[in-house]
Amino acid sequence: MKVLTVYYSMYGHIHQMAEAVSEGAEEVKEAAVEMRRVPETLPESVLGKMGALEAQKQFAHVPVCSVEELASADAIIFGTPTRFGNMCGQMRQFLDATGQLWATGALVGKVGSVFASSATQHGGQESTILSFHITLLHQGMIVVGLPYAFQGQTRIDEITGGSPYGASTIAGGKGERMPSENELAAARYQGKHVATIAAKLFK
Ligand SMILES: Cc1cc2nc3c(=O)[nH]c(=O)nc-3n(C[C@H](O)[C@H](O)[C@H](O)COP(=O)(O)O)c2cc1C
């Protein structure tokens, strides 16, 4: 049973969350877990102006995903930073290249799940995840979130991401806040939860 964690990260927040999601999925013994980045669409000159080049070195080793690879997975867990309350353009462009997979029903019945990051606490994490689910449903995927069985999402003693829709982190206006222990625990839980469901479906 194969689980793919497919993500875009500009400054490393989603990358850290993707590692935690993958660690969680690896706890399920039937799962072979791989991490992939979606292709960059911005030129280096723009990434430089956005202050992203240094951070991106941390995950340059993660292979870039091809659209065809999606068809080989049983479960796909997508990670995206929020852009104006939606997924980022790099992820949108990647998904918009899956028309052939849609036409052949290649993703029908696979498990799909989403995690996110935004600069501000109420800056659109939930809308990013929920609007991403629309694409997964068009592809015929079985959408899985982050159940309240992960009790860390109920805590109010500290500021935290995480909702029933999926794990998330709050990056701060300058990207100065990295995922907290609670947010990473949510990501691990989601990875394990998805892999557990996929293991039952795809014995
Ligand atoms: C064009 C653009 C739009 C953004 N829109 C939002 C937004 O709507 N709400 C928000 O809280 N953060 C927004 N952000 C901040 C990003 O979500 C933040 O940089 C990201 O979550 C950090 O994750 P990463 O390091 O994995 O890229 C935006 C950033 C950019 C560059």
Distance 170 CA to ligand 1 centre (A): 9
Distance 196 CA to ligand 1 centre (A): 30
What average pLDDT does the segment 167-177 reach?
97
Q: Which of 203, 8, 19, 202 is nearest to 110 (CA)?
A: 202
- Within 8 A by CB and 6+ apart from 174, the residues are none
The position carrying tokens 């293991």 is 199
What average pLDDT does the segment 14-25 reach?
98
129-168 per-position pLDDT tens digit = 999 999 999 999 999 999 999 999 999 999 999 999 999 9
Distance 50 CA to ligand 1 centre (A): 11
pTM greater than 0.95? yes
Distance 175 CA to ligand 1 centre (A): 9
> Model confidence at 63, in pLDDT bands (50, 70, 90)?
very high
> Pocket of ligand 1, candidates 41, 84, 90, 180: which has the most ligand atoms within 8 Å of its Cβ, to mutate?
84
Name the residue at shortest CA distance from atom 29 of ligand 1. 83
Q: How far apart are CA 34 and CA 127, in angstroms?
A: 26
pLDDT at 46: 97
CB 74 within 8 A of CB 201: yes
Residues whose beta carbon lies within 6 Å of some atom of ligand 1: 9-14, 81-85, 117-120, 123-124, 171, 175
> Pocket of ligand 1, candidates 58, 83, 169: which has the most ligand atoms within 8 Å of its Cβ, to mutate?
83
Pair of tokens at residue 32 = 């072979």
DSSP string, 24-89: HHHTSTT-EEEEEEPPP-S-HHHHHHTT-HHHHGGGTTSPBPPHHHHHT-SEEEEEEE-BTTB--H
> Model confidence at 203, in pLDDT bands (50, 70, 90)?
confident
* Residue 168 DSSP class: E
pLDDT at 182: 98
Distance 135 CA to ligand 1 centre (A): 20
75 forms beta bridges with: 3, 111
> Model confidence at 184, in pLDDT bands (50, 70, 90)?
very high
- Within 8 A by CB and 6+ apart from 156, the residues are none
From the alpha carbon of 82, which atom of ligand 1 is closest?
17
pLDDT at 79: 99
Distance 120 CA to ligand 1 centre (A): 8
The position carrying tokens 């080049």 is 53
pLDDT at 23: 98
The dihedrals phi and psi of 56, each to the nearest 5 degrees, come to -70, -20
pLDDT at 78: 99
Q: CA-CA-CA-CA torsion for 103, 66, 109, 190, nearest 10 degrees?
A: -150
Q: How far apart are CA 33 and CA 73, in angstroms?
A: 9
67-106 per-position pLDDT tens digit = 999 999 999 999 999 999 999 999 999 999 999 999 999 9
What average pLDDT does the segment 173-201 reach?
98
Q: Which of 143, 196, 193, 187 is nearest to 30 (CA)?
A: 196
